Amino acid sequence: MAQAAPHTPATTPSAGGSGLDPLDLYAVRASLSDEERLVQESVARFVEGEVLPIIQSCFEEHRFPKELIPKLAALGLLGSSLQGYDCAGLNAICYGLICQELERGDSAIRSFVSVQSSLCMYPIFAFGSEAQKARYLPRMARGELIGCFGLTEPQGGSDPANMKTHAKKRGKDWVLNGSKMWITNGSIADVALVWAMTPAGMRGFLIDRDAPGFSAREIEHKFSLRASVTAALFLDNVLVPDEQVLPGVTGLKGPLSCLTQARYGICWGVIGAAQACLRQLLDYTATRTLFGRPLAHNQTIQVRLADMARRITAAQLLALQLGRLKDSGAMQPAQVSLAKWNNCRMALDIARDCRDMLGGAGISAEYAPIRHLLNLESVVTYEGTETIHELTIGRELTGFSAF
């Protein structure tokens, strides 16, 4: 099966003779530290050897490849930027590169790692008690425990302040009622971080999967992220001991700060998906002969390929600067919104354009762009839709909130 050729960094010089890497025209890789390059290479090798050979059939079978979890853990990719608790303690650029290489394989694999790392381990690390950190983080880093993040509800994910799931105090415990929708890893998670409204504001509750009254149901018939588990969660008088509440945060800033971490990873991840599409197109247009010459000889084809390279390059530089800001502690949520909006739009448009340039073959599972295109329809929507991120930038510019 003709999967997208994995891009082994800096080993695929362009055909133009300059020696430039067509997927890295501004030599981002050369600006990386040795450690950052090493991380990128090892994840790229993992994707080439373990993800690409199986991912198309996983997508077709609507199956998340759980067998990859121990391998992801062995590479230190779960909670990779956290310090201590058996986590790798890597910097933000490394985390970005991990996301980029994983999403070169498939958005589902990057989504799994994002949710485990940024949406479940990060809040336990940042807002959890010492006992919660010790109980969950090392086992989550080893892939022995899977986590999920329950914020979105059926009545509207863009407006989480309108949350209906609520928690009431009963003695020293809490009683939770409500439901969550579109939860990645939901039905395979050992622990669900559920955000619920209390009289004092929103709080985060760590709920073990076997808690009476808690259930998860996988959402089937998805046309997107088919190699990822997405579920609905139901809470029917679930009793949660007070020691399972995250003590360090109250209010919407809790889940929003987790989303800032995860969106940062998406800004990098989607670059990998776009690169996979462009790589396959460069190969295809070089060999597909129409009207007596390879497609790549035509001006309009070259213009379209050049435009993809321009947009990927701009996205890479945006992600790199965002990573430098994050590592210096200066990154602002609005900067993440702009990069999430720009980079998801870039990847989605490139995947669709690549699909078109493959002609009829572009609708076949033989080629990666249609799979990336379908996946990216989720990625552009989750963790804040494109509109919500645009409105966030609008608010930043004008001082007026339009949502």
Check residue 115 for interaction with ligand FAD (CB under 6 A).
yes
Distance of alpha carbon 50 from alpha carbon 3, whole angstroms: 13
Beta strands in 199-317 (DSSP E): 201-208, 214-218, 230-241, 289-290, 293-294
CA 131/CA 252 separation, integer angstroms: 24
Q: Is 383 a catalytic residue?
A: yes
Catalytic residue among 36, 48, 103, 383: 383
338, two tokens = 């702009």
By CB under 6 A, residue 151 contacts ligand FAD: yes
> Is 149 an interacting residue with respect to ligand FAD (CB under 6 A)?
yes
- Closest approach of Cβ 74 to ligand FAD, in Å? 24
- According to CB under 6 A, which one of 388, 394, 395, 396 is a site residue for ligand FAD? 388
Regarding 144 and contact with ligand FAD (CB under 6 A), the answer is no
Beta-strand runs (E) in 112-256: 147-150, 166-170, 173-184, 191-198, 201-208, 214-218, 230-241
With CB under 6 A as the contact rule, the residue among 87, 183, 267, 350 that binds ligand FAD is: 183
Site for ligand FAD in 185-224 (CB under 6 A): none
CB of 210 to ligand FAD, least distance (A): 20
Separation in Å, CA 351 to CA 97, 106, 377: 20, 13, 10
What's the distance, CA 283 to chain centroid? 27
Q: Is 150 in the site for ligand FAD (CB under 6 A)?
A: yes
Is position 184 an interface residue for ligand FAD (rule: CB under 6 A)? Answer: yes
**DSSP β-bridge partners for residue 178:** 235
Cα distance between residue 46 and residue 101, in whole Å: 9
CB of 185 to ligand FAD, least distance (A): 7
The contact pattern for ligand FAD, residues 218-247, with x = CB under 6 A and - = no contact, is -------x----x-----------------
Q: Which residues pair with 207 in a beta bridge?
A: 192
Structure-block tokens of residue 5: 């050729």
How many residues belong to the site for ligand FAD (CB under 6 A)? 21
> Using the rule CB under 6 A, which residue among 96, 157, 254, 362 binds ligand FAD?
157
257-279 burial: b if 16+ Cβ within 10 Å, else e: ebbbbbbbbbbbbbbbbbbbbbb
The residue number whose beta carbon is nearest to ligand FAD equals 157
* 387 forms part of the interface with ligand FAD (CB under 6 A): yes
Binding letters toward ligand FAD, positions 365-384, x by CB under 6 A: -------------x--xxx-
Q: Residue 29 carries which DSSP code? A: G
Minimal distance, residue 181 CB to ligand FAD, in Å: 7
Under a CB-based contact definition with an 8 Å cutoff, are residues 186 and 150 in contact?
yes
Binding of ligand FAD by 59 (CB under 6 A): no
Handedness of CA 94, 100, 104, 105 (dihedral sign): positive
Nearer residue to ligand FAD within complex by CB, 158 or 364: 158
Q: How far apart are CA 161 and CA 355, in angstroms?
A: 38
Q: Which is nearer to ligand FAD, 113 or 225 (CB)?
A: 225
Q: How far is the CB of 108 from ligand FAD (least distance, A)?
A: 9
> Contact residues for ligand FAD (CB under 6 A)?
115, 149-152, 156-158, 182-184, 225, 230, 378, 381-383, 385, 387-388, 403
